[in-house]
Structure 1
């Protein structure tokens, strides 16, 4: 790459080379004319003879061979230790008698520099996938969330005052206390996320029974259909409601294939699991709510922002709406 004080640009090199090759100038005369050394003039003239005008561009300074690079066998040992033991560069370097920076460079070259890039259970590199079109696969999951007592919990008032509000909470459908603690109950977030577009649909429901899950799916499917998304497959975990005959028959009647994750492998349903985390960080715990009602009232607005305005890193900064053909219903 040419620098600020370089006497020759690619255009100047071309002129110098043509003077020597085509017009027959002596190297010393051409070098004096363009204020460079005869060696430099000879180099550009030689490149012009070999490659023509294309040869005047800068070349990479990377060597053709790297004698200092580790042999392939040693690189494989580094990768093997990383995958088998999940050690960092320093420990691997001590075991193999290498410099930690050398080990780090090898791990970066193989895409293993961060433990987050490895599956926790198997230590294998994480395989990411994305279906080609909206509706090819919809991830469904349930997230259990503790209710907020009236007046606010400990996040607003601290442990002591928040505990008093929790103890004063009234709900005739549940006993006051369970195992000595106030029984505030739970909200169950039923979530459905499209694999291709990340379009999401969420409802807060009182339980996770099969009847509640099926009723949620009917409404979720209607939401996707209104957006022009025809659902073909649904992926869930192995929760009891998703193993029920009612859930199976509901999807079968709609012509939808049901897939379940392997036991103890939530990574397979990772898109909705990551959505659950976003939901907690940006809505459920984003501010200090003073009641469960106040928190629930903000969910529709947040969900609209997520689908229509919030940039998604997996979509190159675009919201899910950018990948859905009819989210606003203008083509119905």
Structure 2
């Protein structure tokens, strides 16, 4: 059974919507508010129940089911040709340590991952300003094995 990752209504939710609607005590607006979906979604569920289509539908797009598509997508996404072609950056503020106050200044963890070599670069900097991010980026690029770079610091 294939369920979309953003699905809000499960099979049991659809059955409950139908049951509540059949009791004549719940209106469509109330059902939409209760299940946190739009009114057209409720109408669609009611229509599908009347047609007895309670199970999720399989995808009709056959292109995504082929092996060629999966291999092409994997090659395009993960195989980079040189270091630094695609680098992922992220920052994280570490959790408070035991005995540390929330008012004390805390450092930030900067992380970069190179998609070519899968190398991980980290740095702990005192703040999350553009100056700190630029210095981390410069240090990361200079520490990568790039032949045509100039590091002037």
Q: TM-score range by the shorter chain?
A: 0.3 to 0.5
Q: Which has the higher contact order (CA 8 A, sep 6+)?
A: 2
- Give the TM-score taking structure 2 as reference length: 0.48
Q: TM-score, normalised by structure 1?
A: 0.25
Structure with the higher helix share, 1 or 2? 1
